[in-house]
Chain A
């Protein structure tokens, strides 16, 4: 397949930006409401990693599935998770997508193909294979994406999953978001070979290291992986290089991130960079983008308002959803 096929044109770049602007604004708002004490929740900021899921959202269809991780709200929003159901779940209300039972680490929204969010490092990968197998069985060309971090690339489950996907030629796309840190551990120190994409070679599948903060590079790599999967050519491992601007979770003392490294990453913030590019290349005007951003803020305001006005679950709700059949009181 010729790489040239997968070029992000102006309309695609603009759409990627609009998604990224939503992701960025939602993260900023989440940190703001936690800091102000308005809302208490466990929160894993993805600030700095927005381009990867914005591209994925651009390429994927609603019937394509994704399995993501605790640091995954960007993946979900990119895939179309509705804001009302998201915020209500974050705040633990009955109108949340999981009725308040799952919370930030287990957000799920099947109508948009958001099938699993796991808090267990590496566990997104094996399950994605089952979704891919089902697509194969259904005779559908839908694809199955799993995302995970660089740290997760050292869990056995991820390797078992890549081997199985290769052997069965599954339409699974393994998206490693390499943000260079796993909690306080640096990628360099704990990942032998210092390259995750290379590991694909051992499984005989394509492994591509791509600048995940570069929308064009990310688009062409991801769209190619999806096209391969849709065409029945099997899995791809993408190692998307990025950086998380803040600590592992909200409240984490992030002093272990070298100051210069953090400053340089923030200086190269991929979201404003894409914005500037759109304006410089006359793909959009300042006014148009400002209007998009203002609308995003209004939508987030509305979602938080809706969430806060929604009812809390009742203890009796614990009897439901353990099994299909309720547990006797």
Chain B
């Protein structure tokens, strides 16, 4: 297997882009990534596109072909493949590109993610997102996606000493970071009171515990590490790529409050990279809800189960803490265009490792991790990147 490098990144602003179509979002991100890598389109050998549900959001399937066509790749006939794993579609798209390059099958590969969510009403988007869980046995009885994470929160708060205020502090911290990220959907700081005064969505989760509905696209270019210097001197090495599965339904998990796919993917990634937790300088975790960030920090092994709320309160996960978590603002403040999120996480970590994260730069960041979850934990992708 060959070592793989990320040689270019590009991300559209995240938000409600009523004036921009699905394909135009993708093209913006792809062009930014190619420009960043100093590449022209003729040098691309293959493309992967993470997308959860263009079929429901814009009535469009066959996304690989559409994207290849509108990015000018159809006339060159290079392979273009859609990757779907609900909210982990982006993370898996990146992993497929890494595998393609590592195996020697391809050399220069684009991994992208895109989601256009605001062309449908809230009811339809809530129902579409519920398809990330088990439609037959969760969605059918009225389980919404926030509702499932709310049941994780209820179970967690029953068993561990997590306060409602500590949960709110996850959102406060991520909004603080988002305020320093030019592409973030929400760029204003909030307080604990903002969260606690927002309306209940699914008890105990309130509106400000939830990531928003977002349009956006992100793209990165990967290439063999040995060739990276041909294109750029601002490349980042992929140290590990891990993916794990678990039951599609929350109710079938061995432990409602623990995402065993996160536990597995996190362990495998660290083992493959030959690293320990103390080597990780920052991590982008999948905070689709505040409780999800609490679980992620623990299930990735950064602290014992039950401690993440206290660590958040103490500022350990803040921008200037020992383990900065979600410097981008996370899904909560940066926004969550589901198929694009996993790629945006890679973009954020690459920016940090290149020292280009501006007001949210983590000093001397060398090794970063990304954690991308599909559904309530049925699919998890974990990646580790290192500055060279």
Q: Answer yes or no: do A and B interact.
A: no
Measured CB to CB, the residues of B under 8 A from A are none
User: Could you tell me which A residues sit within 8 Å of B by CB distance?
Assistant: none
